[in-house]
Amino acid sequence: MITLRNLLNHTSGIVGYEKSTGSLTSAALIAAIEHAGIRSQPGTWHYLDSNYSVLAYVVTQLSHQSLPDYVQAHIFKPAGIQNSGFYPQFNATVSPSHQYKIVNNQVTSPALPDFTQLFGAGDIYMTATDVYRFDQALMTGKLIPTAERQLMLTPGSSSTYGMGFYVNPGSYSSHGVLGGWNVINSFSHSGQTTIVLLANDNGVTSLGQTADALYAQLDQMGDNGAQ
């Protein structure tokens, strides 16, 4: 039996949806994930966007709200997130970013899947400030109780992945890549230090190495709660 915890820990064993062209309704996406079946019995870690798509669909079914409405009410509003949203509004924002890759010293614009195929797993845009606000809301109890946060930030398998974040020796971090966009969101175990790095030229700079270097600099400075 696949549990919600398996989906959150990415230990569900599902095959997942192989991204293609064209748009899908959320129901059609979930049907395709169900049809693909499982690769293994639950328990082995394998990061897969489809885990989040299934979780997002469960949220809509239990709340009887659309995913944007639910996220706005239960995450964006309590966290004070003001300049983020879902993909249909992205190109209507004041300064939407463009994503690039450099291939053979040439700047290219990588192809993207239709964003409906990323339901619950990549169809949200955020500013660096709003990512920071989310981190602060999470760590100060504005989003979920302390006990649930501790469970969220505990590895769920032999990997270091908990529920949305990797559990590192001195920090929690999440890493997202889509086309040329590349994101690192990391904060210390105390929640006093936050590092948010956003790039739109995937492959030019290692954000993971940059974050590690910043933590090393903060350690030398005594990590006096710099943010």
pLDDT tens per residue, range 152-196: 999 999 999 999 999 999 899 999 998 889 999 999 999 999 999
Question: What is residue 43's DSSP assignment?
Answer: T
What per-residue confidence (pLDDT) applies to 189? Answer: 94
- Predicted confidence band at 71 (pLDDT cuts at 50, 70, 90)? very high
Q: 23: which 2 tokens?
A: 């748009």
Type of residue numbered 159: S
Query: Which amino acid does the sequence have at 187?
Result: F
Q: What is the pLDDT of residue 202?
A: 73
CA distance 99 to 126: 14
Pick the CATH number of 4-221 from 3.90.1570.10, 3.50.30.50, 3.40.710.10, 3.40.630.30: 3.40.710.10
Tokens matching residue 69: 């409405």
Instruction: Tell me the C-alpha distance between 183 and 192, whole Å.
Output: 20
In the predicted model, what is the mean pLDDT of residues 8-35? 94
Buried/exposed code over 31-63 (b: 16+ C-beta within 10 A; e: otherwise): ebbeeeeeeeebeebbebbbbbbbbbbebbeee
Per-domain residue ranges of the chain: 4-221
Packing angle of the helix pair 26-36, 49-63 (nearest 10 deg) = 130
Lowest-confidence range among 53-62, 69-78, 212-221? 212-221
The tokens describing 89, both together, are 């509004």
The proportion of the chain whose per-residue pLDDT surpasses 70, expressed as a percent, equals 96
pLDDT digits (tens, 9 = 90+) for 80-120: 999 999 988 887 787 888 889 888 888 888 888 899 999 99
pLDDT digits (tens, 9 = 90+) for 124-154: 999 999 999 999 999 999 999 999 999 999 9
Whether 36 contacts 15, CB under 8 Å: yes
Q: Would you say residue 121 has pLDDT above 90?
A: yes
What's the pTM value of the predicted model, to 2 decimals? 0.91
- Provide the pLDDT for residue 204: 63
pLDDT at 78: 98
Q: How big is the chain by its Cα radius of gyration, in Å?
A: 18
Phi, psi of 186 (to 5 degrees): -140, 140
